[in-house]
Amino acid sequence: MHVPTEHPTIINKQIKTLDVPVFLIKEDYPMDKALEGVKILDMSRVQAGPSCAQLLGFLGADVIKLEDTVGGDNTRIDMAHIEGEDSVYYTIFNGNKKAMTLDLKSEKGVSIMSELVQWADILLENFSAGVMERLGLGYSQLKEINPGLIYASIKGYGDTGPYSSYKSFETAAQAMGGAMAATGVHGGPPMPTAAGIGDSGTGLHMAIGILAALRQKDKDGEGQHVEVAMQDGVVNLMRIRLIRSLSTGEPNERGVILGKSNLPPTFACSPGGYDDYVMIHLRGQLWETVLAVMGREDLIGDERYGDEAARNERPDEVIKIVTDWTSKRTKYEVFHALASAGVWCGAVLSPEEILTNEHLITRDMVVDVNDKDRGDYKMIGCPIKLSRSPVKVERAPLYSEHTDEILKDVVGIDPNEIPSLREQGIIV
């Protein structure tokens, strides 16, 4: 929020005792969504917080994305491919929300914020340490307004510990959480992984924390402060790479998951393009299955390749045996042949192939979104499937698109007053 040094404090405002109407993202939403009626005030930006709020929105929560009056979430513009249009980065993390603007430098802005806090079941923020408290929006301050409020904070290093004042972001979290040390080529430098385990991974952890707090609130009616540190989230996702250190005290070698192998995880396929590879798990008895699928029954029982240790002693020979077969077939042909035989494998799908993958489209993980303002575009869907709680993927909101609607339906402001608020700069 954009506020001056001297600003009114929310807790000093009188709060109406009237019930606040439930805000629905879309009137035709079915009533059997898992999180129907759960109300979220999303003050977060960029990826960690927005991805969390979006996931809960997929599951039926009513999400208001609250932005400042000087441009809002910086990812709208900073990563835009077309000047004047919201970036793809913004749209893929902010679906299933409504957006409003608010400037807290006036008493009226503070009063409106108070009403929003009273409306919300959850407030989600990922500001740097101490920012919310300085704005008069810390948990201890807001719980006086709404004792049932679940106050969800995402920080780089959390609220406690010697690093708590430090800022973080995706690759910094990967470095401090152990992911970077484990990624890369053996003997080479640490490398970040392309997956957003620092940001979106933290968002997933926060979603779990929020759901747990909601369950607790169902029992006793009280809210609480839920905190997730990005470093903690990455460490949790890195547990498999900690096994060796935990069991023997020895460090894990970079690029090696469990144990040492001289065999690559991927093998080249036809026609030999940049991503024409397939991952094949060759450990244990799967080796004999792979041989059978490749038509190399003559090598089944061959002591030169009889166990993993033997195959590691002859990596060049093993690679040639497998590649002689894979290189004459596409990665999809190899994948279907091996996977249908029970072999753990996977075609290496490029980002472009992800967006056109028949399986993912069938499962609504890649969906088409109709948007009259931006034009139609593809969006990543909800990875969680519930048997009796449908998910509807909605487009990301435009900047301040629903401000008037929220002020009228949620805050209870007379529509005739809204133009004056806009003239005063309290909203955009």
338 domain residue, yes or no: yes
The answer to whether the beta carbons of residues 348 and 279 sit under 8 Å apart is yes
Q: Looking at the structure, tell me whether residues 377 and 343 fall in a common domain.
A: no
Distance CA 88, CA 81 (A): 8
Q: Looking at the structure, tell me whether residues 164 and 108 fall in a common domain.
A: yes
261 domain residue, yes or no: no
The residue out of 352, 377, 401 marking a domain boundary is 352
254 domain residue, yes or no: no
33 domain residue, yes or no: yes
What's the length of the chain? 428
Q: Looking at the structure, tell me whether residues 199 and 337 fall in a common domain.
A: no
377 domain residue, yes or no: yes
Q: Looking at the structure, tell me whether residues 311 and 402 fall in a common domain.
A: no
What is the pTM assigned to this prediction? 0.86
359 domain residue, yes or no: no
Give the domain CATH number at 312. Answer: 3.30.1540.10
Query: Range of 295's domain?
Result: 266-352
Structure tokens at 148: 């049932």
Give the domain CATH number at 225. Answer: 3.40.50.10540
Q: Looking at the structure, tell me whether residues 93 and 25 fall in a common domain.
A: yes
The answer to whether the beta carbons of residues 155 and 202 sit under 8 Å apart is no
**Burial of residue 229 (number of CB atoms within 10 Å: 0-12, 13-18, 19+):** buried
One digit per residue, the tens of pLDDT, for the chain of length 428 reads 444 444 444 444 433 434 444 444 444 444 588 999 999 999 999 999 999 999 999 999 999 999 999 989 889 988 777 877 888 999 999 999 999 999 977 889 889 999 999 999 999 999 888 888 888 899 999 999 999 999 999 999 998 898 888 889 899 999 989 888 888 877 788 889 889 999 999 999 999 999 999 999 999 999 999 999 999 999 999 888 887 788 888 777 776 554 566 788 899 999 999 999 999 988 777 899 999 999 999 999 999 998 888 998 999 999 999 999 999 999 999 999 999 999 999 999 999 999 999 999 999 999 999 888 888 889 999 999 988 888 889 999 999 999 999 999 999 999 999 999 999 999 99
Q: Looking at the structure, tell me whether residues 280 and 387 fall in a common domain.
A: no
Give catalytic residue positions. 199
Q: How far is CA 128 from CA 13, 227, 377, in A?
A: 25, 13, 33
The answer to whether the beta carbons of residues 360 and 366 sit under 8 Å apart is yes
223 domain residue, yes or no: yes
Q: Looking at the structure, tell me whether residues 166 and 309 fall in a common domain.
A: no
Q: Looking at the structure, tell me whether residues 103 and 209 fall in a common domain.
A: yes
The answer to whether the beta carbons of residues 42 and 50 sit under 8 Å apart is yes
Q: Looking at the structure, tell me whether residues 282 and 205 fall in a common domain.
A: no
The answer to whether the beta carbons of residues 230 and 154 sit under 8 Å apart is yes
Looking at 182-305, which runs of residues are DSSP E strands? Answer: 225-229, 266-268, 277-280
**Burial of residue 38 (number of CB atoms within 10 Å: 0-12, 13-18, 19+):** buried
357 domain residue, yes or no: no
Q: Looking at the structure, tell me whether residues 150 and 194 fall in a common domain.
A: yes
Helix (H, G, I), strand (E, B) or coil at 199: coil
Structure tokens at 328: 């004459």
Residues 290, 295, 297, 301, Cα dihedral to 10°:
-30
Q: Looking at the structure, tell me whether residues 60 and 206 fall in a common domain.
A: yes
Looking at residue 234, its pLDDT comes to: 93
Closest of 91, 97, 92, 109 to residue 4, by C-alpha? 109
Q: Looking at the structure, tell me whether residues 92 and 195 fall in a common domain.
A: yes
